[in-house]
């Protein structure tokens, strides 16, 4: 479960990414998206847990000012999973070039 304050940050970051404010790097070979800003960086890694048979995300948030890394985890059995999945989808599409 994500801490409530961090989940609020994720929701705001998703909205700002969907509005085109942030362009993320997407590594499709590793199912990883990364964003690096002056005050923070964030990466999301998707994986499928074959043993448990569910999808999961590992989230790394780095406070670039304090130089501290925080690690969070969610999987599809938890209520915050859909918020992270939406951020992941928005992030991977943020640099997409579409014909119209």
Per domain, the residue ranges of the chain are: 4-93
Q: Are 73 and 87 in contact (CB under 8 A)?
A: no
The answer on pLDDT for 1 being more than 90 is no
φ/ψ bin of 40: left (φ > 0), alpha (ψ from -120 to 50), beta (otherwise): beta
Measure the CA–CA gap between 10 and 69, rounded to whole angstroms: 16
Measure the CA–CA gap between 8 and 16, rounded to whole angstroms: 12
Predicted confidence at residue 13, as pLDDT, reads 99
The answer on pLDDT for 7 being more than 90 is yes
Predicted model pTM: 0.94
Mean pLDDT of 18-36: 97
Q: Give per-residue pLDDT as tens, 54-73.
A: 999 999 999 999 999 999 99
The answer on pLDDT for 51 being more than 90 is yes
């Amino acid at each position: 479960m994500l801490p409530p304050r961090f989940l609020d940050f994720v929701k705001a970051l998703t909205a700002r990414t969907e509005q085109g404010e942030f362009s993320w790097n997407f590594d499709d070979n590793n199912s990883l998206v990364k964003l690096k800003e002056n005050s923070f960086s964030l990466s999301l890694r998707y994986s499928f847990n074959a043993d448990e048979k569910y999808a999961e995300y590992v989230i790394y948030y780095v406070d670039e000012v304090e130089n501290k890394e925080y690690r969070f985890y969610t999987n599809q059995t938890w209520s915050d999973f859909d918020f992270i999945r939406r951020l992941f989808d928005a992030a991977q599409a943020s640099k997409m070039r579409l014909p119209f």
